[in-house]
Chain A
Amino acid sequence: MSAPSVAARPSQPRRLGVRTYHSRLLLPLVVAGILALWELAVIITQLNEIILPRPTSIVRALMDGFAAPVASRASYFPHIAQTLAEVTAGYAVGCTSGLVLATISVRFSLLEQLFRPLVVAFQSMPKIALAPLIVVWFGFGFNSKFVLVILATFFPLFVNGITGFKSVEEGPINLMRSFGANRWQIFTKVTFPMALPYIFAGLEIALVHAITSAIAAEFLGGQLGLGVMILHMEQLLDVAGIFSVLMILACLGGLLNAGLGLARRHIVSWAPGESRAIES
């Protein structure tokens, strides 16, 4: 039986320079055109806004949500803060523990032989399926979301960490040994930096998993969170509201991803395909 290939490869070279001045202008125009058509279509067909709200209604829902007093139930801010807290806390703990365990596993090969099959088996299972169980164990509050995000982010970092640490060639290791370097020096000065492209690929996957599982856990219930909001709005048939929350989620995910991409480009600018523009 062949082992499934579970590690994500470091990201491919990005095609820069493709976006020209014209397409920069074109994109907003196209989006504006689509929104205008959408607005018109809903008005002309007199479609019920419970099925498809007009873009202007979505904007109004957004404005209402942000304008409402922060302490009130209608305000979006406490929900955004809650989801953001679940995602970032779970992400930090999950990614760190995944990397730490990967480091230990690479150091002690017996541990890796022990862990790896378990991890691969567990990794193929969708973590979201665990959400109801985790709610039973940890309740409807912050903790259940936090735990699910940890589970979802642990595996990408564990697997990519191991793959990255093992991708290091013999040459630099021998070089370090020739200077009499100890294991810790070899790890910090060579193995870990060498593995960074793999680790960042893992961090990017983990980020998507983190947001998905936080929202999924919130769907099961709770007091606060963007998923909880969507659930309430669904019961009130406030479809424009649902759309507005989806837009917040898209922005949140986009921002977090952009931050991570910025960090990656800054930290692993040496990796092939990272700083160089277009090849082939």
Chain B
Amino acid sequence: MRAANNPAISLLNALQEIEASPGGELRGSAIQARRLSKMYRLSSGDEVLALSDASFDVSAGEFVSIVGPSGCGKSTLLKLIGGLSTPSQGEVTIDGRQVDGPRRDVGFVFQDPTLLPWRNVIQNAMLGIEVLGLDRAIYRTRAQELIDLVGLHGFEKARPSELSGGMQQRSAIVRALLHDPNLLLMDEPFGALAAMTRESMGFELLRIWESRRTSIVFVTHSVPEALFLADRVIVLSPRPGRILDIIPVGLARPRELEMMGSQDVGQKATHIRQLLGARGRAA
């Protein structure tokens, strides 16, 4: 079974973790979601089931995508994992501990970059550090490294209104990564970007992920994007969101665009589209 079950190896892991300082080697979090349901009460008093009976695992360092039609509870699922919302039934554990609120080892990226308009790129990146009460001097240097990594060098002092949509989202990714989260939760982060930007952002995200090995849960409504990025794709049904299938992608890393033309990927994409109830035939 898993390495964690072997006492010698888990001791080794623990020693490695102790050595890991800010900026050092990181490990990803393991997530277990068990029979998660979420009910919302509308202002009319009616109750709406947003998510129903979702169970799945994400192993340490894994990249998992969640696809589904709009309003299927994808974002709800992400909020439950991140502790921004509490499940009506079921439970989520991260690294064996039950989630009962936001955790400091989790980073969020939303569809909207949600940058504070009065802060420049560096100041926006430092927001989490200020809230968490971490050493500003250390993390300021690290912020600069991350800004260089995502290609925002020279824009440290730029305000969000002076950046393009893609640059704003890069800035939001820097903010999410700066406090060294073990888990990155991304809610359609590239949904508002133009197709070309979107593709190159996907590449950059993979590059960052491969250098840091955090776990990533990535919500999207684009089937190709999910397949291109993830190790496994979780397919959710329309409301109430229910897990229809969990598909291992099985492509080699690092990913390349040509892989997307393979027959295997094509079949998986078709399978997912059929699950999502897409009608009609492609030419």
A residues lining the B interface (CB < 8 Å): 171-172, 174-181, 185, 189-190, 193, 268-272
Contacts and interface: CB of A to CB of B under 8 A. Distances in A.
B225 interface: no
Interface of B: 79, 82, 84, 101-104, 106-108, 110, 112, 114, 116-118, 127-128, 130-132, 159, 161, 179
9 contacts: A171-B114, A174-B108, A174-B114, A179-B102, A180-B101, A180-B132, A189-B130, A193-B118, A271-B117
Contacts of A175: 108, 110, 114, 127
B102 A270 contact: no
B110 A174 contact: yes
Nearest to A271: B117
A180 B134 CA distance: 13
Q: For the complex, would chain B's binding face be called helix, strand, loop or mixed by DSSP majority? A: loop
Contacts of A171: 110, 112, 114
Contacts of B159: 270
Most buried by B among A176, A177, A179, A185: A179
A172 B132 CA distance: 16
Contacts of A268: 118
Contact of B104 (A176, A179, A193, A271): A179
B84 A174 contact: yes
B146 to A, nearest CB: 16
B84 A178 contact: yes
B102 A180 contact: yes
B106 A178 contact: yes
A270 B118 contact: yes
Contacts of B84: 174, 177-178
A174 B75 CA distance: 12
Contacts of A269: 118
B268 to A, nearest CB: 32
B131 A181 contact: yes
Most buried by B among A178, A268, A269: A178
Nearest to A269: B118
B161 A270 contact: yes
A171 B189 CA distance: 13
Nearest to A276: B161
Nearest to B179: A179
Most buried by A among B79, B102, B131, B161: B131
Nearest to B79: A174
A176 B124 CA distance: 12
Contact of A178 (B108, B112, B117, B118): B108
Contacts of A272: 161
A268 B159 CA distance: 13
B102 A177 contact: yes
Contacts of B130: 189
Given A171-B110, A171-B112, A189 B131 contact: yes
A208 to B, nearest CB: 27
Contacts of B108: 174-175, 178
A175 B110 CA distance: 8
Nearest to A175: B114
Contacts of B107: 178
